[in-house]
């Protein structure tokens, strides 16, 4: 039925024990149950948890009364769990405290998600039986008792209690007591195991133990199970999020730093499998015998061209390691030449037959090599002498591949600042300066005047001319040929700046300035690591590594934000879009509302723990829908609704025909 046909709207209130970061609150707030022309909204009247950070997250999970930090342990349970007496000022919670946490309102629905660590399969059976974890498990019964006592005069209409499936076995004695207690307060109870992923249409399978109860006097209609949905693929959710490490994902979207050996193990675990995939690997002396882990080089590294294919562009440095500059030559190897391929003959033994087919067997181990310059490194050939053999290596530092060229520069490209001989013709006089007939070698230069001594330079051992007042004209004692080599000491004006200075690797730097640059101080370093081969990290070194697995993918852990998305705590479509205009609108809304993708605090481990403990909001929404529907029927005086869905809370075996006062 369309929403515009709704004529009656009711409000139902929900309250949460052990509320955590508020996943149940968020889901219940989204629920919009409807029956005929009646609809309902669900309002949160509070929640209780002993973790202050979780309560701060709870308050940000949606509208409603703020949560309350409260320890629900009895004194004996506190002592058993913590191993010490409570601090001064601590007291046990009472029914009155519960009512105050709810703003002295009575809830229609109570959601209880007590700690499950004591019943988790991740905890060994023997450890779960210790006093510490038994005290933690007893919080389940403690929450039910406090709830029943707090609203004994106005019983809660519907109760949902969720925990791990193993509670049905490890906590059987507690569940029996809970059933008896609820029946004494007039409730019909059902224990089921459901997959929250199917209830909320999540990308995770999250099987949980659910205990649901309805007050038979206040809620005559049966409580039906939520409709099951198809589980989604992980990629459906993660594919709509930025890549891990992208700033758009915020601080919770970082790849965890794992030990190197953990990254290697993850790379060899088959997708869809677990650690048991590692049993298929062959290991010898602690090393993989069938696989190597190598850096992923750029495209074309060590490339080999096909014989009948075409080569790419030939670069200035065409070596095997910087492109596809090798060839699969079919002419080279043959069945009759294998013994002589890539052979190096000893210096003191005779050579094999010299052939013309190839050269890979015509090598010798020459012991005469030395590094004292015998091979003409940086050699300069005389102009009138022959050069040596031209080899494939023809750079100046690899042999005598330079020449002392006596030819003076000439021609139009080399006439810059040319000086014309006195007895030669001048070049063409042009308009541009510093070119053409600009200077002449004038033999008439002397100490005379009238231009003969223009720009005169006085020898160092000769007397100077007359010092005159107008020395700017180039006359008088104006210049001197000073033979003394310039000698600046540390502290002279320019040298103190350290321009183009290079520091020793084991030296110290000066004070770093705001304009530090390679050309205005000692801001370069002689780094000796240039030839070091990058080594693999140590086994226990924590790092972020991208290893391409055998299936061509990156086997990596989920980021904290991705775990939140799998739990439906965030909807990627509300934060990111491929459409630029939509993304701008999302960014503007987030800036206006202050919405951030981060939980309280900066401890990533605490974030992941609270996310894992949370009830998926989409699953809670599905539960809220069916509970709201049942409450709408009860408020309208209906006692039955025909539905194809299974009845959640009913007398076993006698189904609809059972008396509403029957017990399970």
Q: Is residue 439 part of a domain?
A: no
Find the CATH number of the domain harbouring 55.
3.40.50.150
Q: Is residue 356 part of a domain?
A: no
pLDDT given at position 494: 53
The β-bridge relationship of strands 38-49 and 34-35 is antiparallel
Highest mean pLDDT among 263-267, 347-351, 506-510: 263-267
Domain count for the chain, please give it. 1
State pLDDT tens for residues 582-599.
989 988 888 887 777 789
Q: Is residue 640 part of a domain?
A: yes
Residue 604's alpha-carbon distances to 23, 29, 601, in angstroms, are 18, 27, 8
N residues, the chain:
664
Q: Is residue 41 part of a domain?
A: yes
Judged by phi (left if over 0) then psi (alpha if -120 to 50, else beta), residue 286 lies in left
pLDDT given at position 103: 96
Q: Is residue 273 part of a domain?
A: no
Per-residue confidence band for 485, with pLDDT thresholds at 50, 70 and 90: low
State pLDDT tens for residues 592-629.
877 777 899 889 899 999 999 999 999 999 999 999 99
Residue 330, SS3? coil
Inter-axis angle of helices 139-150 and 172-184, nearest 10: 10
How many Å apart are CA 299 and CA 297, to the nearest integer?
7
What contacts 57, CB < 8 A, 6 or more positions away?
20, 21, 22, 599, 600, 610
Q: Per-residue pLDDT averaged across 482-502, rounded?
A: 66
Each residue of 55-71: b (16+ CB within 10 Å) or e? bbbbbebeebbebbebe
Q: Is residue 176 part of a domain?
A: yes
Which token pair is 124?
């060994």
Across 131-140, 247-256, 263-272, 442-451, least confident range: 442-451
CA 314 to chain centroid, in Å, comes to 38
Q: Per-residue pLDDT averaged across 39-43, rounded?
A: 95
Which token pair is 659?
């008396």
Domain hosting residue 163, numbered range: 11-231+617-657
User: Max CA-CA distance within the chain?
Assistant: 139
Does an H or E element contain 109, and which?
A: strand 109-112
Task: Tell me, yes or no, if the pTM score tops 0.85.
Answer: no
pLDDT given at position 41: 94
State pLDDT tens for residues 361-413.
566 676 765 455 455 555 666 666 776 555 555 455 556 656 666 665 555 54
Per-residue confidence band for 499, with pLDDT thresholds at 50, 70 and 90: confident
What's the mean per-residue pLDDT of the chain? 80
- 427 or 191, greater pLDDT: 191
Please, are residues 30 and 43 in contact by the beta-carbon 8 Å criterion? no
Per-residue confidence band for 181, with pLDDT thresholds at 50, 70 and 90: very high
DSSP secondary structure letter of residue 303: -
Q: List, in sequence order, every residue forming a beta bridge with 420; answer none if it has no partner.
A: 440
- The answer on pLDDT for 262 being more than 70 is yes
Please, are residues 630 and 158 in contact by the beta-carbon 8 Å criterion? yes
Q: Is residue 369 part of a domain?
A: no
Per-residue confidence band for 659, with pLDDT thresholds at 50, 70 and 90: very low
Q: Which residue has the tokens 């919670």?
A: 93
Does an H or E element contain 604, and which?
A: helix 604-613
Across 118-132, 168-182, 274-288, 421-435, least confident range: 421-435
Q: Per-residue pLDDT averaged across 570-585, rounded?
A: 90
Judged by phi (left if over 0) then psi (alpha if -120 to 50, else beta), residue 64 lies in left
Does an H or E element contain 39, and which?
A: strand 38-49
Residue 264's alpha-carbon distances to 269, 456, 630, in angstroms, are 9, 79, 52
Q: For the chain, what percent of residues have pLDDT higher than 70?
A: 74
State pLDDT tens for residues 46-94.
999 999 999 999 999 999 999 999 999 999 999 999 999 999 999 999 9
Q: Per-residue pLDDT averaged across 255-266, rounded?
A: 89
- The answer on pLDDT for 315 being more than 60 is yes
Q: Is residue 346 part of a domain?
A: no
Please, are residues 214 and 630 in contact by the beta-carbon 8 Å criterion? yes
Which token pair is 315?
């670069």
State pLDDT tens for residues 557-567.
889 999 999 99
pLDDT given at position 660: 38
């Amino acid at each position: 039925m369309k929403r515009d046909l709704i004529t009656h709207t009711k409000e139902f209130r929900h309250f949460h024990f052990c509320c955590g970061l508020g996943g149940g609150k968020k889901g219940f707030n989204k629920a919009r149950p409807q029956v005929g022309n009646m609809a309902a909204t669900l309002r949160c009247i509070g929640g209780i948890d002993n973790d202050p950070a979780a309560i701060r997250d709870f308050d940000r999970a949606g509208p409603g009364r703020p949560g309350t930090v409260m320890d629900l342990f009895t004194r004996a349970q506190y002592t058993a769990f913590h191993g010490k007496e409570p601090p001064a000022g601590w007291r046990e919670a009472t029914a009155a405290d519960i009512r105050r946490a709810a703003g002295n309102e009575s809830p229609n629905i109570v959601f209880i998600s007590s700690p499950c660590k004591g019943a988790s399969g991740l905890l060994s059976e023997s450890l779960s039986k210790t006093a510490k974890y038994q005290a933690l498990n007893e919080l389940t019964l403690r929450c039910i008792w406090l709830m029943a006592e707090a609203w004994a005069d106005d019983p809660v209409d519907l109760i949902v209690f969720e925990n791990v499936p193993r509670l049905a076995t490890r906590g059987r004695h507690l569940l029996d007591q809970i059933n008896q207690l609820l029946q004494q307060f007039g409730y019909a109870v059902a224990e089921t195991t459901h997959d929250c992923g199917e209830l909320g249409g999540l990308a995770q399978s999250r099987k949980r133990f659910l205990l649901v109860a309805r007050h038979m006097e206040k809620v005559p209609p049966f409580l039906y199970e939520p409709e099951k949905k198809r589980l989604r693929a992980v990629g459906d959710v993660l594919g709509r999020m930025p890549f891990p490490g992208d700033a758009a994902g915020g601080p919770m979207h970082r790849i965890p730093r794992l030990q190197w050996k953990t990254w290697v193990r993850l790379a060899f675990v088959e997708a869809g499998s677990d650690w048991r995939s590692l049993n298929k690997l062959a290991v010898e002396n602690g090393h993989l015998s069938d696989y190597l882990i190598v850096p992923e080089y750029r495209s074309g590294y060590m490339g080999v061209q096909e014989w009948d294919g075409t080569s790419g562009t030939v670069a200035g440095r065409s070596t095997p390691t910087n492109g596809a500059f090798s060839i699969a030559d079919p002419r080279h190897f043959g069945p009759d030449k294998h013994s002589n391929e890539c052979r190096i003959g000893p210096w003191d033994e005779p050579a094999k037959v010299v052939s013309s087919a190839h050269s890979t067997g015509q090598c010798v181990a020459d012991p005469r090599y030395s590094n004292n310059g015998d091979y003409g490194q940086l050699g300069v050939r005389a102009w009138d002498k022959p050069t040596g053999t031209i080899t494939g290596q023809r750079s100046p530092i690899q042999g005598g591949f330079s020449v002392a060229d006596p030819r003076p520069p000439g021609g139009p490209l080399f006439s810059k600042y040319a000086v014309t001989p006195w007895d030669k013709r001048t070049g063409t006089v042009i308009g541009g300066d510093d070119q053409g007939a600009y200077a002449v070698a004038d033999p008439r230069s002397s100490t005379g005047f009238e231009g003969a001594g223009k720009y005169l330079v006085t020898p160092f051992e000769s007397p100077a001319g007359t010092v005159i007042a107008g020395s700017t004209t180039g006359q008088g004692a104006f210049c001197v040929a000073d033979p003394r080599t310039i000698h600046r000491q540390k502290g002279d004006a320019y040298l103190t700046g350290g321009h183009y200075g290079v520091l020793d690797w084991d030296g110290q730097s000066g004070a770093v300035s705001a304009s530090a640059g390679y050309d205005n101080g000692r801001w370069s370093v002689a780094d000796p690591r240039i030839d070091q081969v990058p080594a693999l990290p140590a086994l226990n070194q924590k790092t972020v590594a991208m290893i391409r697995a055998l299936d061509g993918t990156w086997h990596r852990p989920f980021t904290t934000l991705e775990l939140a998305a799998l739990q439906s705590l965030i909807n990627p479509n509300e934060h990111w879009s491929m459409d630029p205009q939509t993304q701008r609108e999302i960014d503007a809304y987030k800036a206006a509302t202050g919405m951030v993708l981060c939980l309280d605090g900066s401890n990533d481990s605490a974030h992941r723990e609270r996310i894992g403990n949370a009830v998926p909001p989409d699953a809670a929404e599905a539960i809220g829908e069916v509970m709201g529907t049942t409450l709408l029927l009860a408020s309208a005086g209906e006692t039955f609704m025909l539905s194809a869905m299974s009845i959640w809370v009913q007398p076993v075996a006698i189904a609809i025909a059972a008396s509403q006062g029957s017990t399970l």
